[in-house]
Amino acid sequence: SYSHKVADQEPLLFSGGLDRTIRAWRLPAAQDFAAYGTNLTMQTRILRAGTFVGHTDTVWCLHAHPHMPCLASASADGIIGLWSTRFDEIKQGASMQASLRLRDGGPASPDPAACAAWVPTEA
């Protein structure tokens, strides 16, 4: 995994990487998790909350919105993706809610976005 962010509104951790997939993981309470347990396969199944599919190249950056259940992602495919992080909406193969392409792939295209971040504004 390359990047991760914890969403304040839900006990989830998000990771993304070379396989073009974003994964959501449940964050257990420390007393409920046996880091050195013998059944790691079962623990992984319990912790895995879902996957987000939609990028066609490496996921470089993830950033959870500080107040809303949204996740922004930046990928080598030139797309900034927006995803819902509502626990009841996370499922295997969840797709982007919205996206913005920052390059068209032509020879004069700028480099793809390497990072996505939410910027606070005055209300």
Compare 6 and 3 and report the one with higher pLDDT.
6
The pTM of the full predicted model, rounded to 2 decimals, is: 0.76
pLDDT tens-digit series, residues 52-103: 989 999 999 999 887 788 899 999 988 899 998 887 777 656 778 888 886 6
Say if residues 78 and 105 touch (Cβ distance below 8 Å). Answer: yes
What's the rounded mean pLDDT across residues 13-40?
Answer: 81
Each residue of 23-34: pLDDT tens digit?
A: 998 877 777 777
Helix (H, G, I), strand (E, B) or coil at 87: helix
Q: Tell me the pLDDT band of 1, cut-offs 50, 70 and 90.
A: very low
DSSP-assigned beta bridge partners for residue 73: 62, 81
Rounded Cα distance between 39 and 92, Å, is 23
Rounded to the nearest angstrom, the gap between the alpha carbon of residue 81 and the centroid of all alpha carbons in its chain is 9
**Rounded (10°) CA dihedral 99, 100, 104, 105:** -60
Residue among 4, 5, 8, 6 at smallest CA distance from 67: 8
C-alpha 103: how far from its chain's center? Answer: 21
pLDDT score at 74: 92
